[in-house]
Copies of this chain bind each other. A is one copy, B any other.
């Protein structure tokens, strides 16, 4: 970010030029700020303090570089999850795209409701209906085919509320946290309840997180040859449901060590933060709290994107930080280019 844009953001361009040394000081501080989109406050201070004392040689809380591991939930933590999970929007679009090959869907629920665009009727089919939508939209293709389908969808789909691409519905303050942690030797991982194959195709470009550092729900796959060429075929059966207690399981399977830092936003992240912060040594848990109806959404306790009561009630007692979007974030989404 250019210095003068940063200064406008920080509101310091009104500082009198008759105080050049004070201005210089502010500029220097601003340019050195690793989290310029975060307001000064308890959350930002505690975050920077934790990173400082775990990375300063000789500090009692020093964590060796190879052990610095930070995990992030995706939906509601790194990007917006309202009004629908992006992956659910993808599933609905995929059903519509496949409908011409499935004339029988016109009279078969929940597909007919999807084709009609009647979301309430879709949801009326309950979890079994959602699983049929997920199976029809996410499986029966090879992993390479699914990667291409997801990549294509992101280029064309737009968020209904903002008109942005879904991969632009990411949180600028969290991008800064990711970069700040990596600059301090932390390896950053996504640990999502969403499908890992839905996130990997774009996570490196958007978050700087490579595929091997994305953990999530996954379906079973079968290795088979097609004209002597091997493929992995996606099967309509969960191999890992990566929410709740599935998060520590996914962390074990893919990362193989206890994280130092965990960020989440809902009760689906409770076990991940519990698993992280109950380990020996310095650990940090952070909850992103959605409090800003004007710039994003305000929701907690019960919500159609999941419950958030337990993390908010128990988190502070366990020393987890609350990052309150309205209070703590100067901006929400990145500036569009």
Contacts and interface: CB of A to CB of B under 8 A. Distances in A.
Contact of A223 (B187, B249, B254, B255): B249
A248 B239 CA distance: 15
Given A212-B187, A223-B275, A254 B252 contact: no
A305 interface: no
A248 B232 contact: yes
B212 A143 contact: no
Residue with the highest number of chain B CB atoms closer than 10 Å, among A213, A230, A249, A275 = A230
A174 to B, nearest CB: 21
Contact of A218 (B69, B210, B245, B253): B253
A22 B109 CA distance: 81
Contacts of A143: 252
Contacts of A66: 204, 210
Interface string A125-153: 00000000000000000010000000000
A248 B223 contact: yes
A62 B200 CA distance: 22
Interface in A261-317: 271, 274-275, 278
A91 interface: no
A229 interface: yes
Contact of A256 (B212, B248, B249): B212
Interface in A235-265: 239, 245, 248-249, 252-257
Contacts of A271: 223, 230
A331 interface: no
A230 B196 contact: no
Contact of A252 (B232, B257, B274): B232
A178 interface: no
Given A210-B66, A257-B212, A249 B221 contact: yes
A97 to B, nearest CB: 24
Interface string A59-83: 0000000100100000000000000
Contacts of A256: 196, 200, 210-212, 214
Nearest to A250: B253
A111 to B, nearest CB: 28
Interface centre among A187, A214, A256, A278 (most CB of B within 10 A): A256
Nearest to A255: B212
A221 B252 contact: yes
A292 B148 CA distance: 46
Contact of A230 (B200, B218, B239, B278): B278
Given A143-B252, A211-B255, A211-B257, A278 B223 contact: no
A194 B248 CA distance: 22
12 contacts: A189-B212, A211-B256, A211-B257, A212-B255, A214-B256, A218-B253, A223-B248, A223-B249, A223-B275, A229-B278, A230-B271, A253-B254
